[in-house]
Amino acid sequence: MNDLRGDAERSARFAGRAIIVTGAASGIGRACALRLASEGADIVAVDLDAAGLTALVDEIAATGRLCERLEGSVVDLGLMDAAIERAVTRFGRLDGLVNNAGIGGPMGRFDRSTPDDFDQMIAVNLRSVWYGTKAARAPMIASGGGSILNVSSMAGLVPNRHHSLYGMTKAAVISLTHHAAMDYAGDGIRVNALCPGPVETPIFEQMRSNLGDDAFESARRQLIRRTLLGRFGQAAEQAAAAAFLLSSEASFITGIALPVDGGWSISDGQTATRPSAPD
């Protein structure tokens, strides 16, 4: 049965495919790039972080796959064009795009954010995703179809206090995904969003400098208490869901925003470790 395939068969899901991953030098993007490469994909990795890209390229090379690197900011739309161009010239095709690069941005009461904060959050978390999704269409059609995965957040589905700009951009990424899924369905291109719950990556640690140590630790405890599985997620768990949505196993799935959140979104806020109620 299809859904009971073993690791050996699963490991070829992306053989011969070329996939761009933005924000690939760290956290969830890095885990996605490694997972996709481990299943046969050649990768174009985009990030600001030169050292992180070098480490990723080395790690992917060790698996026998190819990884092209592009250093720069996704705010520069020309970089997204260059990434697509690189996939087509180097690998002859573009099959997948993971619009993952993002920032947490400032935290604070709604009225405290500034127009500059707003513009920066839109440019990094939304405009780049919009542009990548737009620019990938033609080369994906030329490759016989494709799959786009936009990394949103649970914060795009449920508001987080004092994190309005982040939540607004992530909610917009979900709407963008719905609209692109509608317009690209006839082209054989699926477009989905991933909504991670809390994963302890550097972006999450940014909250420490935003909030200070005490408030950060208290927010951390609260997040764990609210997550049904009683822990943070791991980047590799996000990458597993991302790989599924990008793969042909998800061939009838488009336009969804998938929570990968350990039950955070349906939690009643009680601690996950409390004993079950008696029958």
Longest dimension (CA), the chain: 62
Q: How far apart are CA 73 and CA 92, in angstroms?
A: 24
Q: Considering the rule CB under 6 A, would residue 34 count as an interface residue with ligand NAD?
A: no
- Residue 55 CA neighbour count, 13 Å, CB half: 11
Q: Considering the rule CB under 6 A, would residue 246 count as an interface residue with ligand NAD?
A: no
With respect to ligand NAD, which residue has the nearer C-beta, 51 or 185? 51
The answer to whether 117 and 161 have CB atoms below 8 angstroms apart is no
Q: How far apart are CA 146 and CA 181, in angstroms?
A: 11
With respect to ligand NAD, which residue has the nearer C-beta, 51 or 142? 51
Bridge partners (DSSP) listed for residue 192: 149
Q: How far is the CB of 46 from ligand NAD (least distance, A)?
A: 6
Q: Considering the rule CB under 6 A, would residue 228 count as an interface residue with ligand NAD?
A: no
Taking CB under 6 A as the binding criterion, the range among 11-19, 27-35, 212-220, 264-272 that sits at the site for ligand NAD is 27-35
- Residue 201 CA neighbour count, 13 Å, CB half: 24
Site string for ligand NAD, 251-270 (x = CB under 6 A): --------------------
Residue list 123-182, contact with ligand NAD (CB under 6 A): 124, 151, 153
The token duo for 35 is 């997972």
Out of 55, 103, 158, 236, the residue judged to bind ligand NAD by CB under 6 A: 103
Out of 17, 42, 45, 47, the residue judged to bind ligand NAD by CB under 6 A: 47
With respect to ligand NAD, which residue has the nearer C-beta, 235 or 250? 235
Q: How far apart are CA 265 and CA 268, in angstroms?
A: 9
Q: How far is the CB of 30 from ligand NAD (least distance, A)?
A: 7
With respect to ligand NAD, which residue has the nearer C-beta, 52 or 139? 52
Q: Considering the rule CB under 6 A, would residue 101 count as an interface residue with ligand NAD?
A: yes
The token duo for 237 is 């768990």
Taking CB under 6 A as the binding criterion, the range among 130-138, 140-148, 196-204, 212-220 that sits at the site for ligand NAD is 196-204
The answer to whether 143 and 91 have CB atoms below 8 angstroms apart is no
Apex 240 CA angle, 236 and 245, nearest 5 = 145
The count of residues interacting with ligand NAD (CB under 6 A) is 29
**Active-site residue among 166, 184, 244, 264?**
166
Taking CB under 6 A as the binding criterion, the range among 24-32, 83-91, 140-148, 212-220 that sits at the site for ligand NAD is 24-32
131 part of the active site: no
With respect to ligand NAD, which residue has the nearer C-beta, 145 or 232? 232
Question: Are β-strands 96-99 and 67-71 bridged in parallel, bridged antiparallel, or unpaired?
Answer: unpaired
Nearest alpha carbon to residue 196 among 137, 258, 139: 258
The string over 94-122, giving b where at least 16 C-beta atoms fall within 10 Å of a residue's C-beta and e elsewhere, is bbbbbbbbbbbbbbeeeeebeeeebebbb
Binding site for ligand NAD (CB under 6 A): 22-23, 25-29, 46-49, 52, 73-75, 100-103, 124, 151, 153, 196, 198-199, 201-204
Query: What amino acid positions are annotated as catalytic residues?
Result: 166
